[in-house]
């Protein structure tokens, strides 16, 4: 019995030890709209203990995870990151972040994904583009 794309994504989001600490959650995944991954923000994600803003590394990780998920949903195998570019557009704070990943190109060897990260007020806090190896293996 083959696994559905949703089941595969839920498993791949929960398996890595780093993800077990970060705790990203798949919100949605479909062919037309791409993938949305949610991250509930915690104190240890802050860039400074006395400030509410989130460290850029957490945002970069969320972009990488969502980009990977957008391609892995179609291929149902892991896709290593080749390149990751991020533009931080405003300080991120609040209760959660959402990363919406849209597939730009899916080729035989490389896939490219655009990712938009919004805060819980719907404000765009970062935009990223990831390039991933699509070869199985």
Please enumerate in sequence order all residues whose Cβ is within 8 A of that of 53, keeping only pairs 6 or more positions apart, or say none.
Answer: 46, 47, 91, 92, 93
The widest CA-to-CA distance across the chain, in whole angstroms, is 50
> What's the rounded mean pLDDT across residues 5-27?
88
pLDDT tens digits for range 78-109? 999 999 999 999 999 899 999 999 999 999 99
137: pLDDT confidence band, cut at 50, 70 and 90? Answer: low
Confidence of residue 3 (pLDDT cuts 50, 70, 90): low
The rounded percent of the chain whose pLDDT value lies above 90 is 80
Q: Where are the alpha helices (DSSP H) in the chain?
A: 5-14, 17-22, 56-75
Please check whether residue 65 is in contact with residue 59, taking contact to mean a CB–CB distance below 8 angstroms: no
What domains does the chain contain, in order, with CATH numbers? 5-133 (3.10.129.10)
Residue closest to 69 by CA, chosen among 128, 116, 113, 105: 113
Report whether 111 contacts 78 (CB < 8 A). Answer: no
CB 115 within 8 A of CB 128: yes
> Which pLDDT band holds residue 1 (cuts at 50, 70, 90)?
very low
- Read off the pLDDT of residues 42-83 as tens digits, 9 standing for 90 and up: 999 999 999 999 999 999 999 999 999 999 999 989 999 999
pLDDT at 86: 98
């Amino acid at each position: 019995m083959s696994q559905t794309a949703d089941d595969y994504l839920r498993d791949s989001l929960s398996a890595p030890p780093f993800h077990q600490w970060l705790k990203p959650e798949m919100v949605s995944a479909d062919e037309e709209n791409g993938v949305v991954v949610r991250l509930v923000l915690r104190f240890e994600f802050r860039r400074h203990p006395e400030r509410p803003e989130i460290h850029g590394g957490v945002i970069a990780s969320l972009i990488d995870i969502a980009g990977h998920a957008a391609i892995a949903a179609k291929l149902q195998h892991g896709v290593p990151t080749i390149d990751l570019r991020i533009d931080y557009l405003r300080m991120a704070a609040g209760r959660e972040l959402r990363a919406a990943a849209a597939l730009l190109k899916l080729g035989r060897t490389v896939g490219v994904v655009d990712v938009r990260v919004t805060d819980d007020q719907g404000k765009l806090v970062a935009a990223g583009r990831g390039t991933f190896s699509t070869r199985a293996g």
